[in-house]
Amino acid sequence: MECEGILMGMGNPLLDISAVVDQQFLEKYDIKLNNAILAEEKHLPMYEEMASKYNVEYIAGGATQNSIRVAQWMLQIPGATSYIGCIGKDKFGDEMKKNSKLAGVNVQYYEDESAPTVEKAKYFYIAGFFLTVSPDSILLVAEHAAASNKIFSMNLSAPFICEFFKDAQDKLLPYMDFVFGNETEARTFSKVHGWETENVEEIALKISQWPKASGAHKRISVITQGADPVVVAEDGKVKLFPVILLPKEKLVDTNGAGDAFVGGFLSQLVQEKPIEECVRAGCYAANVIIQRSGCTYPEKPDFK
């Protein structure tokens, strides 16, 4: 199969600053466990405090970039994936470039506003976080995908995206061929749309049946639930896929687990494998990532 540049991601490249902190630190900055939020004024001193008080790791992050790097790792085909993002011209930006190039991803970090070419890619993935930055850019990619029969997928990404960026998300939903998310995001999505159900299977089904911009592909929604089965809704039906259970003592951190799941899933999707294989690869990748710090992985995957 012609694989070069088949999968493209677009998003906010972040430099993850990862550290093990205590409960007091969480309370001081009003932070909940297992949550993603946008930093406010009150969080600004946090980075300095982390760097000075704790043992910190710097990892190239950002949800989309994580997923693309994991897909690249799973595929083991140089240049199969590419990624577009915008970084500052500083030492953190240099660190990130180095980090992702090492992962084998063809990274294009735009330090200006030149329009990237997306012709080669047949599959596009953009995390919901990018709705906070440039919904218009997402729409351009979505329209390109719809017009040329390509696959466009997005992630609900975080409850705050479903709540505060609802209009932008709703505008793009008709273009989505795959919608990823976790159970908390799905329930928030249901709440803001007045669906009055907490049932994840029901919500996944409703998301999959939302009207589509183009009839070329049906929509499939894929909702993860931590240690509970993955919910997949397509063609008016719901299937459940159990995940690989991990003993508590092997769990290091869940950072990037959802991103890794998407990366594993997409690595099989671009090879036109059946959905159950995509889910199996997603679960495999997530299982590897939660046994390590941040969204990192060993040199080669062991996925059969």
Q: Give strand pairing partners of 239.
A: 232
Host H or E run for residue 179 = strand 178-182
- By three-state DSSP, how is residue 84 classified? strand
Give me the catalytic one of 167, 177, 259, 302.
Answer: 259
Closest CA to 180 of 238, 253, 232, 241: 232
Structure tokens at 152: 């466009």
> What is d(CA 59, CA 40) in angstroms, rounded to the nearest whole number?
22
Structure tokens at 172: 């793009």
> Helix crossing, 183-192 with 200-208: angle to 10°?
70
Host H or E run for residue 58 = strand 57-61
253 catalytically annotated: no
Pairing state of beta strands 14-18 and 7-10? unpaired
Catalytic residues, by residue number, are 259
